[in-house]
């Protein structure tokens, strides 16, 4: 049953003009950034780096900055993808039908979440192909590339879990999106506060997505970073299940 819900959610996302518009817009921006970083590497950085031993290559100067920008842009898009997940069911009064179905709440939530993860994997594939295309003209650090994309995907997957939960708190998709943007702003404030000179906080940095993602995008794979994203995702999925289960019992 989870597989059926996953396929339905995946198809529903791709049937939305909003999803296609967002993917096209993001890929256009990322392609421009890729060309800017590549031109800067060829014309400005490469002649200087050629004189330095163990100098950073195209992976560090082109792909890593592109991945960081991809993370920033996709984080801004995730609330627009998750806002309709459950709030729209309430808005159009379909939640009663959903709650009365013989499918368990866990299957509904996991199906929607896996459909969203599959959508993200598909939507990120053009960015991955763009990065891999550099291998035709230069030597890539495949370890850093894999770590960077793993970090990008884990960050977006974990924030998507939070978006699903926040979509259960309101019947208005716009309000669900606003709550997601509020959480995103809070995570950003945590990171900035934790990095502020004179008041550095390891706790605030750890609570934020950005420090963990930057480690992975730089090729530094720590189990603590991966564990953070997994715990973040699991925690919000559990909260979503509990919230909907409470609605079912009270409804």
State pLDDT tens for residues 35-63: 998 888 788 766 666 556 565 677 888 89
Give pLDDT tens digits for 209-238.
888 999 998 888 899 999 999 999 999 999
What distance in Å separates the CA atoms of residue 27 and residue 114, rounded to the nearest whole number?
22
- pTM, 2 dp: 0.90
pLDDT digits (tens, 9 = 90+) for 89-116: 666 656 655 666 677 888 888 999 999 9
pLDDT of residue 103: 76
């Amino acid at each position: 049953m989870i597989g059926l819900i996953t396929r339905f959610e995946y198809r529903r996302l791709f049937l939305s003009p909003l999803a296609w518009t967002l993917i096209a817009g993001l890929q256009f921006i990322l392609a421009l950034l890729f060309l800017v970083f590549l031109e800067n590497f060829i014309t400005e950085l490469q002649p200087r780096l050629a004189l330095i031993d163990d100098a950073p290559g195209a992976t560090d100067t082109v792909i890593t900055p592109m991945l960081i920008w991809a993370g920033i842009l996709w984080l801004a898009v995730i609330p627009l993808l998750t806002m309709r997940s459950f709030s729209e069911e309430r808005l159009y009064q379909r939640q009663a039908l959903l709650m009365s179905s013989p499918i368990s709440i866990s299957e509904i939530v996991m199906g929607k979440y896996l459909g969203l993860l599959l959508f993200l994997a598909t939507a990120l594939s053009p960015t991955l192909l763009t990065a891999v295309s550099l291998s035709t003209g230069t030597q890539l650090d495949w370890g850093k590339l894999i770590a960077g994309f793993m970090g990008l995907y884990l960050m977006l997957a974990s924030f998507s879990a939070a978006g699903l939960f926040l979509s259960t708190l309101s019947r208005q998709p716009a309000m669900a999106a606003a709550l997601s943007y509020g959480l995103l702003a809070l995570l950003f404030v945590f990171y900035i506060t934790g990095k502020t000179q004179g008041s550095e906080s390891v706790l605030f940095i750890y609570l934020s997505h950005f420090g963990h993602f930057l480690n992975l995008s730089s090729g530094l794979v720590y189990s603590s970073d991966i564990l953070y994203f997994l715990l973040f995702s699991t925690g919000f999925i559990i909260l979503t299940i509990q919230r909907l289960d409470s609605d079912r019992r009270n409804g």
